[in-house]
Every structure is written in structure tokens, then in C-alpha cells.
Amino acid sequence: MTETISVDLAVLGGGPGGYTAAFRAADLGLTVCLVDREERLGGVCLNVGCIPSKTLLHAAAVIEEAQEIKDFGVSFGAPQIDLAALRDKKERVITQLTGGLDGLCKTRKITRLQGTGRFSEGGTLLVEQQGKTTTVRFAHAVIATGSHPFHLPFAPDDPRIWDSTAALALELVPERLLIIGGGIIGLEMAQVYHALGAEITIVEMLDQLIPPADKDLVQPLFLKLKKRYRIFTETTVTGMEAADEGIRVSYTTGDGTNQQELFAAVLVAVGRRPNSRDLGLEKIGVDIDKKGFITVNQRQQTSVATIYAIGDVVGEPMLAHKATHQAKVAAEAISGRPAAFTPLTIPSVAYTNPEIAWMGCTEKQAKEQGIDYEKGKFSWGASGRALSAGAAIGASKALFDRTSGRIIGAGICGANAGELIHEAVLALEMGADAEDISKTVHAHPTLAETFAFAAEMVDGSITDAM
Ligand code: FAD
């Protein structure tokens, strides 16, 4: 069975990039078709990424807080965990958000096609589902097919070896869980499973957790986690074997020692790869780079002028807010508006406890690039709000270009760092200097004050790290 439809814009992929591009283009008056192989829109972010992970992390954070409040003389008993109810809560959050997307498609008269899409010559997209092919003729297309988890080539096919999607399914809480990869996804899942009762071991190949962030900002988190998990940095997993009693894992530590250990489950969280294969791109002349990312210009246009690409499939950082921002640029460019993807910064957040957030240039990048900078760093141990909230583990750091005086980067370790970082993002976009930030009146006592104090240390009002 075949059917043909014609639209101004065909969007392949219904994640945050794809649905945002579709919505914006429809709002600008284009006829739009949105294609995704899954029944539910929302992509990785809503279904098996940002949203389910944050739902589970909320439960984990409450469990941890209930334990940490002991310091205030308040004690609770051990948590009673109903795994099925927790899974159900996660599903309800996902359903509410993805259901909302269907409604938003309908009100905008966007044609929603479920099926696997592949480009064909002459401005067409073939969408296949269960033997039925729909030919979508388009004037323009946006590719927003996202990414998938990287699988270690030596890992056997075994249900006890998980990727992030399997970990989020929350089928069981293993007694001993190994997490390969000390990045954001690995650490967030560690927090969830530890709170639910698993013994956690983390193996990270590099010399620190969350490698892109500055080590001094990650250190307070590392010291806290070290008391709860076994953490091996500069350690490489070299083999895995499925045995009846568990997964036997071989790894080599920094000093060259080879070890073997048995784990009930293993989560592989070592990065993601773009979904650019099997899309027919080579047939229509859309270029990809060596890693498989689709190459685009500032308007998100590929090597084929009528085809645009956005989100994870065009490269790092693989973040939902980058995908949505690029989506708006692509939709506006296609609609003939002047648009370009030129953010000065895209913030990154690890929703750990404490959270780590950073934006702009990190200190290690500033050093590598030989940038002459001034630094203000305020320890949360001197913040009245942090101390009174039992959240004194943390620091706020701001970097300023010594010549122009303008902020070039910032990082925060501490409770709500993911919310607090946005003051720094706005400061960078607006070209603020240390005086602008330090002389902006901040409410007291707040965690937000710590960022102003960091700036004040450069502005000259505070001379010592408190
Ligand atoms: P995706 O969300 O991957 O969507 C791509 C869509 O394309 C999918 O629905 C897929 O089914 C569809 N598709 C692919 N190929 C085809 C085809 N041939 N035919 C039809 N459909 C196709 N980011 C954050 O910013 N904050 C977070 O807190 C965060 N947490 C995360 C936690 C986890 C566990 C993971 C895995 C990721 C997390 N991310 C987070 C990253 C975020 O999910 C991605 O950056 C974001 O989803 C990328 O959006 P996208 O639109 O590019 O692609």
C-alpha cells in the first residue's frame, strides 16, 4: 500500500529538536509533516532521557535528604520502596508530557506519521510502517534523528548489561551495580540506584568524574560520592563475560593492575553516537563527518540546500536545549527569516547531589587557550543560606577576561546549580563584567548570592576566598 502527500516541510524525528522545528514552522505558516518511528513523540529526552531520569532522581534526592537531615536532629526510618509505583509515576510524567505534544500537533494541523523514514532522490522521504509506505514530497526537510547509546564491542548480549534506556526501565535493583563511565548519565543513574539500595562501583577512564567540567568544581562531589560508592578513575574496562552468577568484568587500574570482579548488573554509559545511518543520506548528497555527525552551517543547513539538520545528529553538546534552539533557527531560516545558531554559550548541568553546572569557557579551556583571565571563587561553606540548608558542599566560580573585564565562563557546584547557572549565562550573553554582577542587588540569604560574591572577589570588594 502506498500513499503520497506533499508538504512545505518534512521533519524526520520527533524529539525536542524535531517537534520544536515542526511547531515553529507551522506557526510561521508552513504545511508540516512530522515523522517518528515511535508511537509517542518526545524522542530520547521525554521518553528515555531527561524527563524519566529527573523523575527518578527526584525520588533519590528525597531519600538522600531524609538521611542527611539527621544532622539537624531529625530522623526517619528506612524508606519503603515500591518499585512498581515508582515506575508508574515515571510513566505518568512521560505520558502527560508526550500526550501534550500530540495535542499541540493537532492544533497546528501538523500531519503526524508514525514509521521509519529514509530519504530518496528528488525531494522525497519514504516512510515505512508495517508494509505501508508513505511518500512525502517536500520543499524543505529537517533531519532530527538524534543519537543512540554506544555499546562496548566486547560486551556480550546479556540482559544484565544495560544502556541508559535499560537502566531507566527500573526493572530491578541489583545488589552490585557497575557503572562504566563517570559522566553525567552514569552519575545520575548511580544516584538513583544507590538511593534504591544498590552497591555502586564507578569506573572512569579519565582522571576525574564529569571530564568536561573543571576538576576543582567536581572535587566536592567526588569527595562526597567516594564515601558512598567505589570509584576508580584512570581505569579501563577491558572485558566482560556473562556467567550464571553475574557479569564478570575485567579492568585495568591507573597503576597497570589487572582486576576481575563479579557484578549483578553493568550499566554502560560511555557516550552516544549519531543516528545518521540508514537515512539514505549518501544517495541525496548530505555530508557527514568521520564520526557520523551531519555537517551544517550556522543556519543548520546541510550540504544539500533544501535539507537542514539539528540536535544530537549534528554533534556535541548532545543536550535537549541545544536541539530546541537549533530547531527554531532551522524553521525560521526555512521560512525565509534571518536566523543563525550563534549562542555564546550552551549551559551543561549534572543533576547530581550536589549538582554541577557550567557555562562558557572552563578554567581548563582558558589555560589551554592561553587566555589571560581573572577568577573569583566563593566557597559555599561561607554562605548563610547554604549552611542553614545543610548544603555547604559547593562553590561558585566566575572567570573574567583580564583585558575586557567581561565574564567568559562560570561554574557552580552545589544545590540547585542547574538553576543558578542561568544568571551567568545571561551575564555572558549581555557582556557583563564583574562589577555589573557584584553591584546587582541579590536577595539575602540566597544561594544566588554566591555568584555575586564570586564576581565581587574580582571586582575588588571581597579580597579573600571566604
Ligand atoms: P532525540 O531526542 O534522540 O529524538 C530523535 C527521534 O528521531 C527519536 O524519537 C527517534 O525515534 C526518531 N528517529 C530516528 N531515526 C528515525 C528514522 N529513520 N525514522 C523515524 N524516526 C526516527 N539533555 C538535557 O539537555 N538535559 C538532561 O537532563 C538530559 N538527560 C539525559 C538523560 C539520559 C539518560 C539521556 C540518554 C539523554 C539525556 N539528555 C539530556 C540528552 C537529550 O535527551 C538529547 O540531547 C535530546 O533528546 C536530543 O534531541 P533530538 O531531537 O536531537 O533527538
- Any idea which residue has 548532545 for its cell? 318
Question: Residue with the nearest Cα to atom 52 of ligand 1?
Answer: 311
Residues counted in the chain: 466
Average pLDDT, the chain: 96
Whether 55 lines ligand 1, by a CB cut-off of 6 Å, is no
- Residue to mutate (ligand 1; options 38, 45, 284; most atoms within 8 A of CB): 45
Question: Residue with the nearest Cα to atom 15 of ligand 1?
Answer: 145
Separation of alpha carbons 107 and 452, rounded Å: 44
Separation of alpha carbons 197 and 67, rounded Å: 13
Whether 296 lines ligand 1, by a CB cut-off of 6 Å, is no
On whether the CB atoms of residues 311 and 327 are closer than 8 A, the answer is yes
Ligand 1 centroid–CA 18 distance in Å is 10
Catalytic residue (one of 151, 321, 422, 444): 444
Separation of alpha carbons 461 and 448, rounded Å: 17
Torsion of CA 183, 185, 191, 197, to 10 degrees: -120
Separation of alpha carbons 154 and 180, rounded Å: 13
Reduce the secondary structure of the chain to three states and give it as a string: CEEEEEEEEEEECCCHHHHHHHHHHHHCCCCEEEEECCCCCCHHHHHHCHHHHHHHHHHHHHHHHHHHHHHHCCCCCCCCCCHHHHHHHHHHHHHHHHHHHHHHHHHCCCEEEECEEEEECCCEEEEEECCEEEEEEEEEEEECCCEEECCCCCCCCCCCEECHHHHHHCCCCCCEEEEECCCHHHHHHHHHHHHCCCEEEEECCCCCCCCCCCHHHHHHHHHHHHCCCEEECCCEEEEEEEECCEEEEEEECCCCCEEEEEECEEEECCCEEECCCCCCHHHHCCCECCCCCECCCCCCECCCCCEEECHHHHCCCCCHHHHHHHHHHHHHHHCCCCCCCCCCCCCEEECCCCEEEEEECCHHHHHHCCCCEEEEEEEHHHCHHHHHCCCCCCEEEEEEECCCCEEEEEEEEECCHHHHHHHHHHHHHCCCEHHHHHCCCCCCCCCCHHHHHHHHHHHCCCCCCC
- Any idea which residue has 524527563 for its cell? 51
Whether 348 lines ligand 1, by a CB cut-off of 6 Å, is no
> For residue 85, what pLDDT band results from cuts at 50, 70 and 90?
very high
Average of per-residue pLDDT across 68-75: 96
Catalytic residue list contains 444? yes
Ligand 1 centroid–CA 395 distance in Å is 31
Query: For the chain, what percent of residues have pLDDT higher than 70?
Result: 98
On whether the CB atoms of residues 253 and 259 are closer than 8 A, the answer is yes
Torsion of CA 168, 169, 172, 176, to 10 degrees: -30
Question: Residue with the nearest Cα to atom 6 of ligand 1?
Answer: 13
Separation in Å, CA 164 to CA 37, 90, 114, 239, 460: 20, 15, 24, 20, 46
Ligand 1 centroid–CA 17 distance in Å is 8
Query: For the chain, what percent of residues have pLDDT higher than 90?
Result: 96
Whether 142 lines ligand 1, by a CB cut-off of 6 Å, is no
Question: Residue with the nearest Cα to atom 53 of ligand 1?
Answer: 146
Separation of alpha carbons 140 and 282, rounded Å: 17
Separation of alpha carbons 418 and 249, rounded Å: 34
Q: What is the pLDDT of residue 460?
A: 74
On whether the CB atoms of residues 402 and 374 are closer than 8 A, the answer is yes
Ligand 1 centroid–CA 189 distance in Å is 17
Nearest to 13 by CA among 46, 50, 53: 46
Cell, residue 213 = 567540567
Cell, residue 261 = 570482579
Structure confidence by residue, pLDDT tens digits, 121-147: 888 999 999 899 999 999 999 999 999
Structure confidence by residue, pLDDT tens digits, 409-466: 999 999 999 999 999 999 999 999 999 999 999 999 999 999 999 999 998 766 554 4
Average of per-residue pLDDT across 70-76: 96
On whether the CB atoms of residues 26 and 111 are closer than 8 A, the answer is no
Whether 417 lines ligand 1, by a CB cut-off of 6 Å, is no
On whether the CB atoms of residues 407 and 378 are closer than 8 A, the answer is no
| pLDDT reading at 115 higher than 50 | yes
Using a 10 angstrom Cβ sphere, with 0-12 exposed, 13-18 middle and 19 or more buried, the burial of residue 295 is: middle
Whether 275 lines ligand 1, by a CB cut-off of 6 Å, is yes
| The ligand 1 atom nearest the CA atom of 147 | 3
| pLDDT reading at 2 higher than 80 | no
Q: What is the pLDDT of residue 465?
A: 46
Ligand 1 centroid–CA 12 distance in Å is 12
Separation of alpha carbons 123 and 284, rounded Å: 9
Cell, residue 317 = 553538546
| The ligand 1 atom nearest the CA atom of 44 | 2
On whether the CB atoms of residues 263 and 162 are closer than 8 A, the answer is no
- Angle formed by the axes of helices 50-68 and 184-195, nearest 10°: 50
Ligand 1 centroid–CA 354 distance in Å is 25
Query: The pTM is what?
Result: 0.96
Ligand 1 centroid–CA 312 distance in Å is 7
- Residue to mutate (ligand 1; options 53, 145, 179, 419; most atoms within 8 A of CB): 145
Q: What is the pLDDT of residue 133?
A: 96
| The ligand 1 atom nearest the CA atom of 148 | 3
Q: What is the pLDDT of residue 122?
A: 83
Task: Please tell me which residue, 462 or 385, carries the higher pLDDT value.
Answer: 385
Predicted complex ipTM: 0.99
Q: What is the pLDDT of residue 466?
A: 44
Structure confidence by residue, pLDDT tens digits, 281-327: 999 999 999 999 999 999 999 999 999 999 999 999 999 999 999 99
On whether the CB atoms of residues 371 and 401 are closer than 8 A, the answer is yes
